[in-house]
Amino acid sequence: MKSTHPETPPPADARARQSVEPVVCYPPETLPAPDMALYRAARASLTPVATVVVAPRHAATFHVRAGHFFRIRAVDGPQVGDLNLWNANDLGERFYSGKTRALHGTHLSTADRMWSSFPHLRPMATITHDTLDWYGFDAFGGSVHDVIGTRCDPYTHALLSDGGQYHHCCHSNLTRALSGETGLSLRAAEPHVHDVLNVFMCTGFLRDTGQYFMKASPVRPGDYLEFLAEIDLLGALSACPGGDCSAEHSSDTAACYPLHVEILRPARDALKGWQSPPENAYNRHHGP
């Protein structure tokens, strides 16, 4: 955390150094662009295939075929969810939260993509609709669907609560769900659980200290975040024990609600010409 009372006096040219204009590290104009017109047209033909219910303070897994859609929906009350994605055929290819943040920014919405880990680095899923896109950034710098928080976990909880043990953190929920889906032991499944997309969570950074903050999510029953699966996906979603994360995120007292994951199939030829993205060109031609 940056100190608000630095020990080092500013140099004579401090203001000049601070006033240098920023440069975007990864200009998005050269990224492969999703065909949103095609995706919007396909959305009109969607047929529900299955619904997975994620119980409060628990996680559940789901499968989505490449070219199908899925929606994460709030149903009974304001609830935040932590999302992990893997290649359904290879757990080694998983959602890369940090690179997604570098490419799209701290919070995701329609037309942003969830990128996979090295050496694959390709779109795993594209956001095709977001009923909270109206929120934007508030006066505190907060927004929804962040890729800056890692996920609540029992290890950090133990540090901050003087050794306290809490077993329904999102990290623990996701680990149990992946273990149950794959047959891996909890010990073997845990390293595959990774930094998340914080669905519906409202977060930002304090302007004075740079600390990560959360506030009550604006999500309401009926709101949803929708994706196109760009490859065959295994997903896991945890209904955060903090509920809407208005006060805390590892709690047995916060009001918590279920989340639904709806799997939807587009009509035949609705995505005509669409292809699942190949692995990153560097990996295909050279490798490290």
pLDDT tens-digit readout, 90-121: 999 999 999 999 999 999 999 999 999 999 99
Tell whether the model's pLDDT for residue 1 goes beyond 70. Answer: no
Q: What is the DSSP letter of 116?
A: B
pLDDT of residue 287: 57
Confidence of residue 26 (pLDDT cuts 50, 70, 90): very high
Q: Is the pLDDT of residue 181 over 90?
A: yes
pLDDT number for residue 150: 94
Alpha helices in 183-238 (DSSP H): 186-189
How many Cβ atoms from other residues are within 10 Å of residue 214's Cβ? 21
Three-point CA angle 170, 243, 220, nearest 5°: 125
Q: Is the pLDDT of residue 2 over 70?
A: no
The pLDDT assigned to 259 comes to 98
pLDDT greater than 80 at residue 286: no
Burial of 96 (0-12, 13-18, 19+ CB in 10 A): buried
For residue 89, pLDDT beyond 90: yes
What mean pLDDT comes out for the span 53-80? 98
Please state the rounded mean pLDDT for residues 157-169. Answer: 88
Per-residue pLDDT at 7: 92
Phi first, then psi: give them for residue 233, nearest 5 degrees: -115, 145
Least-confidence region, from 81-85, 92-96, 158-162, 176-180: 158-162
pTM for this predicted structure: 0.95
Whether residue 49 contacts residue 72, with contact meaning beta carbons closer than 8 Å, is answered with no
Give the model's confidence band at 250: pLDDT under 50 very low, under 70 low, under 90 confident, else very high.
confident
Q: Please give the angle made by the CA atoms of 78, 64 and 56, to the nearest 5 degrees.
A: 25
Give the integer Cα–Cα distance in Å for 162 and 158.
Answer: 6
pLDDT confidence tier of residue 251, bands split at 50, 70 and 90 = confident
Residues counted in the chain: 288
Residue 166 has pLDDT above 70, yes or no: yes
For the stretch 205-221, pLDDT in tens is: 999 899 999 999 999 99
Helical spans, DSSP H, in the chain: 14-18, 36-43, 97-104, 154-160, 170-182, 186-189, 281-285
pLDDT higher than threshold 80 for residue 288: no
| Confidence (pLDDT) at 133 | 98
Cα gap 138→233, rounded to integer Å: 33
pLDDT at 188: 98
Res. 3: pLDDT tops 90: no
Are the C-beta atoms of 258 and 79 separated by less than 8 Å?
yes
> Percentage of the chain surpassing pLDDT 70?
97
Residue 268 has pLDDT above 80, yes or no: yes
The pLDDT of residue 83 is 98
Residue-averaged pLDDT of the chain:
95
Q: Is the pLDDT of residue 122 over 80?
A: yes
pLDDT value for 161: 86
Predicted confidence at residue 6, as pLDDT, reads 87
